[in-house]
Chain A
Amino acid sequence: MKTRRIDNYGKINRDKILSFRWDKKNYKGFEGDTLASALLANNIGIVGRSFKYHRPRGIFSSGVEESGALVTIGSKDRRDPNVRATTQELYNGLEASGQNAFPNVNFDLAGINNYLGRFFAAGFYYKTFIGIPPLEWGKGTAIWMFFEKFIRKAAGMGSASGLPDPDTYEHAHDFCDLIVVGSGPAGVAAAIEAAEKKLDVILVEQDSLIGGNQLAENDFDNSQIKNQLENLGIKIMTRTTAFGLYDNCVVGLLERVTDHISAPNVNMPRQRFWTIRAKHIIVGAGAIERHIAFNNNDIPGVMTVNASKHYLNRYGVLTGKRIVIATNNDSVYETANQLSEAGANVTVLDSRTNLEIETNKSFEIRKGYVPYNINGSKKIDSLDISKSETINKSETINCDQVLLSGGWSPAVHLLSHRGVKPKWDYNNACFLPSDTKENITIVGSSRGLWNKNDCIASGIAGTTDALNRLGLSKTNYFFPKPGGWKNPIQPLYEVKYKKSRSKSFVDYQHDVTTDDVRLAHREGFISVEHLKRYTTLGMANDQGKMGNIIGLSLMAELLNKEIPEVGTTVFRPPYTPVSIGALSGRNVGKHFRPLRVTPMHQWNIDHGAKMIEVGLYQRPWYYPKENETLSDSYIREASTVRKTVGICDVTSLGKIAIQGPGSTEFLNRIYSNGFSKLQVGKARYGIMLRDDGIVMDDGTSWRLAENEYFMTTSTGEAAKVMSWLEELLQTRWTDLNVNVTSVSEQWAGVSVAGPKSREVLNNCVDDSMVITNNNLPFMGVTSTFLKGNIPCRIARISFSGELAFEVYVKSDFANTMMDLLWENAKKYDGCLYGLEALGALRVEKGHVTAAELDGRVTIDDAGLSKMASTKKSYIGSAMRKRGVLKNNDREILVGFFPTNLKETFNAGTIVCEKNNIKGQGIGRITSVTYSPELGHWIGLGFVKGGLDKWKDTNLVGADPVRNKQMNLKVVSPHMIDPKGERMYA
């Protein structure tokens, strides 16, 4: 195979040869190549198959706008699909393959889709599946499922590896006075001017080299510029894309740290996600050359003119031998000169009839001519051309390449992120950025300046604008006028040739044709946003960088309007795709969220605890002995608590110190039950409602002194309750003298529960008199000492329904407390118990937790009506009986038994009437456990109308997710010791 690389051209390092693999074959390139330039040099024309029609596609561009050469890089867990070959730097050992083709891009079986085009036209999905789910459930599901597989396989791009990403990504932040996006002549001029005026400047460039489109020039050398920038202290960030602008001058950057290295240091992140806060932003993001729509304008060998110049002068690759350039503007002539000097046979078709152009006369210019059809399928054989006024067969030119330039679109994307709509410029046939009040200035060809000197002048003016807006100067400045070509551009978006049935592409990447746009118009999708969604024009990952304007112009023509009347779609971040890995950064796996452990975490593990996550907390789940399973273990633990004694770490409960003369009044307002008469030395269980009358949380508050309380909250709601109390005190009840302090981490707590709990504690406290039934009755609180002079708080509180105590010590004493309690509990054949046993014990008692109090439940629903005081007003009291909350068919807390006591059930089971098993049924099971006390499975949950309505009825538990169904009966939620005699013992 012959190489297209030519001598004496390009800035690649020919001394450094790199090997790479493309579609399982070995090739060679040079240091400085992109994958695209190396493929072109190796004469590889077809690099992919198109999205819907599986047409062979080549390389269209040399940059981020690429919509043909999307390839898969790497293999196994490092397989990265949809990478633009035009921006992927070549490295030694790079592995790449074409996409969307089977068996390969040269011979693709699904190429037949090309001939079934009418089935794949715009709106295909919508029309084909009307009348199928979700509109008609039950009928067509299978049909959709059947077709979907094929459609998804037939239309699409590369596929992800499906394996965990082995690379690491970083998040980083930086600040500066001025960030300049783009290192073309305008951006560099702006950065230098700003640095000379003592601003702290960051210059961002998505390419590996600075220079912008100057890199396509044959005599450009960036080393001097680079030195100058560095000497001025400018921070240069190459391989870094400014993917989005956000409010308050925030710029999102994606830095590709190792994507160009064959064996990166394992300590380096693959990519870095930057949040830059600047005082001013200058955008010199350049402009993107458009193609022209005409028949078969996607055959491999079609490219933008500027791309061909890039490949010649930067990479030393002459992309064609017999080249036809089709244009409507002046920008192509320098390229035409250079291509012909490099040895290509060049013909320029210029749609304009009147123009003055100086050239080296080594190529032919056909004024007033346009291309209308390419002949060929996997490569270009020839081009049919015609006079531009009426498209008629006039001539066919044999050629192997067609270069297109339908004009240039300034990259207004970043400004569009800020909601600034661009304005249409008739003279230059492009959208130009509008002014914004934000500290953002656009410079260079992004504001429609087509020559270098104007770009440089605009860069300096841009910095002056920045200095003025920052209040650092008051200098007059002006921006050069848009334009800069000798002959005016003549709009040319599509060459229509009605006799042909070939496809004429607007959006290469999503296979949107001119006919699709016309179809959308016929079917009434005439707003730009509708057009976009119906045809998917501009919705591929290039976001229509090349094709959007062509689509707009076609719609404008159909509507008999001008382009600005049709509008433009809003570009949203990111400018180019950002990997999910970079977005998540280090917040993956164990680092996904912070981990909280209790002070006796290690003690628990050392004593055999298996841990489980509850919110952010790691809590003991169960303490298996030898070969015990989870269920063996928790059943033993729960039984032991009921028989003798158990110890459970409850440190994760939220703990709040409430202090000050207004404390009692405060609690009385936030809890639904009365607190005004709670004596010092007593605790009370309380329920908090939200403003809207729904239960927020429950917990206990202990009155330690006249003006001091110790509040506990549930583990999951601790932070929310704390913020809520602060909000009330700082915004609503600012006259209440109360201080709240989170002391969750200052205190370590355990529950000592079971008939032998007092005996265990007797051996642990300094003075056993303080915990006698008289001195510490049910709900009594005392501050005393554990042996060893350890200050502690003890409250007689029971969640398990047994005689029980909660003991709190300062966190530093946690391990000492555990040692002391455990040593004594063992004497009574006690156990350590975890969350699973705790759950079993509380479900047996009908105590609710977060599974029941899910933010939809009222006090009455939870069966706790007696907790709602009628003697006072409190948060939620006005609203708890509003509207639907007073309906008498609300779901009320009940207990459930399986009718056949040998059966089991799961939380999430839907409760239904026997002959009406569907939908949401009449209730749900929220918590289940095996009850060691009762010897069978039990559940807590809700049912419409509650126990009274259903106590003698056989109901059905439907669990379609797990394919289960069982008969149920409804019982009182207080399934054991309903009178609470054990707690009072």
Chain B
Amino acid sequence: MIRINCPYCGERDHSEFSYGGDATINYPSLDASEKEWTEAIFFRKNIKGFQFETWHHSNGCRMWLVVERSTITHEIKSVKPCHPDLQKVVKNNK
């Protein structure tokens, strides 16, 4: 069972988090075409191995995280904040 090392709270049980989705999508601008939006929200790769996905520390600090997780073993290779400014803060604190 997964434990995620939240950059703010530390290592916590997966029951504190909610799964988000694919963290690699670049969402198009709001005025982009239906086609671009269709690509962004309906088409997903079915990755066997490590993938980047978003998780929300919903029962914790409420931070959205990018988690690099293996879909086979659940091994987690890296965790970082989604927000680039928070990424910088975390890096500077290390």
Contact = CB atoms under 8 A, between A and B. Distances in A.
Interface in A873-904: 873-875, 877-879, 881-882
Contacts of B50: none
A595 to B, nearest CB: 17
Given A246-B1, A247-B1, A734-B84, A669 B37 contact: no
A759 interface: no
A874 B18 CA distance: 25
Interface in A232-280: 246-248, 250, 275, 277
A277 B63 CA distance: 25
Q: Which of A719, A727, A734, A878 has the most CB of B within 10 A?
A: A878
B24 to A, nearest CB: 11
Given A691-B37, A730-B82, A878 B30 contact: yes
A732 B20 CA distance: 13
A878 B33 contact: yes
Contacts of A277: 1, 3
Nearest to B35: A878
Interface in B33-89: 33-34, 36-38, 40-42, 54, 56, 58, 62-64, 73-75, 81-86
Contacts of A250: 1
A882 B31 CA distance: 14
Contacts of A874: 30
B1 A731 contact: no
Given A247-B1, A734-B84, A669 B30 contact: yes
A734 B1 contact: no
Contacts of A515: none
A727 B64 contact: yes
Contacts of A247: 1-2, 73-75
Nearest to B64: A730
B27 interface: yes
Given A692-B41, A731-B83, A248 B63 contact: no
A651 B14 CA distance: 30
Q: Which of A246, A731, A882 has the most CB of B within 10 A?
A: A731
Contact of B83 (A275, A730, A875): A730
A878 B1 contact: no
A558 B76 CA distance: 45
A879 B37 contact: yes
Contacts of A879: 34, 37-38, 41
A873 B56 contact: no
Nearest to A719: B58
A162 B62 CA distance: 43
B1 A275 contact: yes
B82 A882 contact: no
B27 A734 contact: no
Interface string B15-36: 0001010010001111111101
Nearest to A741: B62
A468 interface: no
A177 interface: no
A773 interface: no
A579 interface: no
A446 B62 CA distance: 45
Given A727-B20, A877-B30, A882 B73 contact: no
A913 interface: no
A878 B82 contact: no
A719 B34 CA distance: 28
Contacts of B30: 669, 873-875, 877-878
Contacts of A691: 27, 37, 40-41
Given A247-B73, A727-B20, A734-B84, A882 B34 contact: yes
Contacts of B85: 734
Given A723-B18, A730-B82, A734-B84, A248 B1 contact: yes
B56 A726 contact: yes
Contacts of B83: 729-731, 734
30 contacts: A246-B1, A247-B1, A247-B2, A248-B3, A248-B74, A248-B75, A275-B1, A438-B73, A669-B30, A691-B37, A691-B40, A723-B18, A726-B62, A727-B56, A729-B83, A731-B23, A731-B82, A731-B83, A732-B27, A734-B83, A734-B84, A873-B31, A874-B30, A878-B31, A878-B34, A878-B36, A879-B34, A879-B37, A881-B34, A882-B38
Interface of B: 1-3, 18, 20, 23, 27-34, 36-38, 40-42, 54, 56, 58, 62-64, 73-75, 81-86
Given A277-B3, A723-B56, A873-B30, 8 more contacts: A247-B1, A277-B1, A438-B73, A692-B41, A729-B83, A731-B83, A877-B31, A879-B38
